[in-house]
Amino acid sequence: MSSSVSITRKKTLGSIKEVEDGKFCNLSVLDRVMEPFSLRIVLYYQFPANTDFTKLKKKFGISISYTLSAFTIVVGRLRPNPTPSEGHWHIKCNDAGVRTIEARAKCSLNEWLMSVTREKELELIYWDEMPNNPHLWSTFYVQLTEFEEGGFAVGLSCAHLLADATTATMFLKAWADSHLLRKLQSPPLFHPLPPRKPCTSNTENHEPYSDLISHYKSSIESISNSITASKGEEYSTITFAFSDEMVRKCIFEASSNSSPFAALAALFWVCISKVKGRNDGLINMCVCLDMRNVLGLGKEFFGNCMVFKKVSGDIGVVDKEAGLANAARAIQNVVCEMEEKERIMDLIEWLEKNSGTHRLFQPINGNDIICANWDKLDPYSAEFESGFNPVRASYHLGPVFGEGQVIILPSPKDSEKEGSMGRVVMVTLPKDEAAKLIEESLILNLSPNILMKS
């Protein structure tokens, strides 16, 4: 790839409807703990070579304005909350708009995908970090990049303080629906996290589950401790594509009772621990799961429902096979625990009582490697033009802290049958460790397709 992406235009787009004057939205405790993070997504499309991009981008501008009318928070701005007990920030829904960037790459999409790296891909997803005074700062950015021969990329970035990966994907899908169908199929729902439902049994003697609470408590109490976000050039992202057959083989080698997520998470947990020099156990890992189903919320819920749980690396890894099985079992046990609603409600209630006016400047996972289960996302249904689904989707959780991160995503629709266990795994590690990871025998035995590397 001989040249970088060049920005051709910047503008701000608002909604087509006026926002109610004086409207504010509070942020939940699950929103507030994600303040240190941002989310960056890019969807790649291959349109016909004779596509009129001038006309197409104008249509994109019209459709996003229509979409923003249903997403009032997206076009708002952060303001200090006059009620500190409800968090440091709230959103003023003033229709200040979304920053939109248009760009051009001097290569075809196929050429780009053949040699793309983490650094190059982030050029397709414009993002400005939150300034000290975010009065005018846009919490969402959109970037439209045209390639030669009909290639196109839609980039979306946002403050994780407002939206998680499920919400951001929902926004992209809603935008695609309004672009193609002129209507929103599933409008967003804006409401607080659900309260605990009264039980018939005596709840006065209920002892809160301490495991999740202890993890969040230690993170909040360590605000004064320094955890440094490493610079982007020190990290590499490798993207692995596993077919249905490969994932089934991984499950068989890990444990027949494992989910695709537990098996793949175990695979990379064991391999990453090895490249980091751990021979007497595994590094600690922090599992990230979407709690919408557990809390009885639909995908239309706007906000954050991601919850983190630490998995100790102090498990038996006498040999590779036993280590993989033990790792998968540990992950599966944690997933089962997090699917208990009472545990999540205990955490939410504790955060509401104890997070107070604290602003988290440190990640909730500390220095531990993150393993996020985002395989239920559906970015490949974001069809802006009839018959053209994304050929690839990438998700970046930034900035990268500590040991790195593993993000497990669904496979493109074209490559797998319905009900397939095929997955895409994006692994971000320090560059020297990333180079070693590709050579790990447990991964090589499955023969995944490598979509992106340094």
Average pLDDT over residues 60-89: 91
HSE, side-chain direction, 13 A CA sphere, residue 438: 17
Given a contact cutoff of 8 angstroms between Cβ atoms, the answer to whether 350 and 220 are in contact is no
Average pLDDT over residues 54-70: 94
The listed range with the strongest mean pLDDT (2-6, 18-22, 351-355) is: 351-355
Average pLDDT over residues 191-199: 82
Task: Check residues 411 and 17 and name the one with the higher pLDDT.
Answer: 411
Is CATH 3.30.559.10 correct for 5-181?
yes
How high is the pLDDT of residue 200? 45
Average pLDDT over residues 308-318: 79
Average pLDDT over residues 141-167: 97
Q: Could you give the CA distance from residue 221 to residue 228 in angstroms, rounded to a whole number?
A: 17
Residue 320 has pLDDT above 90, yes or no: no
How high is the pLDDT of residue 232? 43
CATH of region 210-452:
3.30.559.10
**Nearest-10 Cα torsion for 114, 120, 126, 131:** 150
Residue 201 has pLDDT above 90, yes or no: no
Of the candidates 217, 291, 235, 260, the residue with the CA atom closest to the CA atom of residue 428: 235
Query: Residue 228: pLDDT band by 50, 70, 90 thresholds?
Result: low
Q: Could you give the CA distance from residue 396 to residue 116 in angstroms, rounded to a whole number?
A: 14
How high is the pLDDT of residue 1? 46
Q: Using one digit for the tens of pLDDT, what is the confidence trace for 385-427?
A: 999 999 999 999 999 988 999 999 999 976 556 678 999 999 9
Mean pLDDT, the chain, whole residue set: 89
Domain limits of the chain? 5-181, 210-452
Task: Check residues 135 and 355 and name the one with the higher pLDDT.
Answer: 135
Residue 250 is encoded by which pair of tokens? 């991984």
Hey, do 5-181 and 210-452 end up sharing a CATH topology, with the first three levels equal?
yes
Report residue 351 CA to chain centroid gap: 22
Report residue 201 CA to chain centroid gap: 38
Average pLDDT over residues 7-15: 95
Q: Taking each helix axis as running N to C, give the angle between helix 53-68 and helix 165-181, from 0 to 180 degrees, rounded to the nearest 10.
A: 120
